Structure 1
């Protein structure tokens, strides 16, 4: 199991370097911009859940994206404690020119699999991710 996970990690690291070199964005930054594009507006806590990060870890990434003009924060008019995140035009441009989040050859190979096998691969990846979640009594 570890060897398979290591091969996946290695492939992801190689692609992450390629993404940064070609598009100037990390996979996480690209994922955040994609979520913002789909959602139109979302709170930081909602975004943190969608990208599987703590709000503390997400905060630094949001600061970097905001400093580059790719996203904006807007205070909620009714609840001033709440901030909404939205994609700026520069963020949309970055998404248009960025390489795909997953390599095209991976997506092509995935699409060639029979439907049952695509479902099995996805289910296996989701289950593997769940296995790494800390039991509730160990969470900080």
Structure 2
């Protein structure tokens, strides 16, 4: 790699990291607001919203939907279940499988909860052209894909 290419690569790396850091900081500030206002973390809200849309999921399906490890998801689910917002039901055909469902109290909590995204972000997003909304979402999803660790070759 030439020095020019390395400088270019370093420049992109710094710019990408700075943009990611700004997003991270904004998300952390909003997460604190959500916790103070709604008493739930953004992750808990995301789980409740996912269950509201999908009706019922297994823990492994939900962990893929919300990008959490099984161990981390388990702890969050215990807290939500303890508050009566989510329930686990054993599958009648496969006793090893448990279905997660949103309880009426969870639906009520969602109805009262603030948005996962700040209002000003939603307003600005709505003002974009449709192609810009699609491009922004596609870019964010692609960036997330780029950060996934490559699978180990066997």
Question: What interval of TM-score do these two structures reach, taking the shorter chain for normalisation?
Answer: over 0.9
Partner of 1:41: 56
Whole-Å separation in 2 of the counterparts to 1:15 and 1:42: 27
Q: Which runs of 5+ in 2 are unaligned?
A: 1-15
Give the corresponding residue for 1:18. Answer: 33
The ranges of structure 1 where at least 4 consecutive aligned residues each deviate by more than 2 angstroms after the TM superposition are: none
- The answer for the alignment partner of 1:130 in structure 2 is 145
Q: Residue 101 of structure 1: SS of its match in structure 2?
A: coil
For 2:91, the equivalent position in structure 1 comes to: 76
Query: Which stretch shows the higher mean deviation, 47-56 or 111-120?
Result: 111-120
Tell me how far apart the structure 1 counterparts of residues 131 and 113 of structure 2 sit (CA, whole Å). 31
Aligned position for 1:96: 111
- Unaligned ranges ≥5, structure 1: none
Match of 1:6 in 2: 21
Give the CA RMSD over aligned residues: 1.1
Instruction: Work out the CA distance in 2 between the residues paired with 1:36 and 1:93.
Output: 13
The Cα shift of 1:121 comes to: 1.1
Bigger radius of gyration among the two: 2
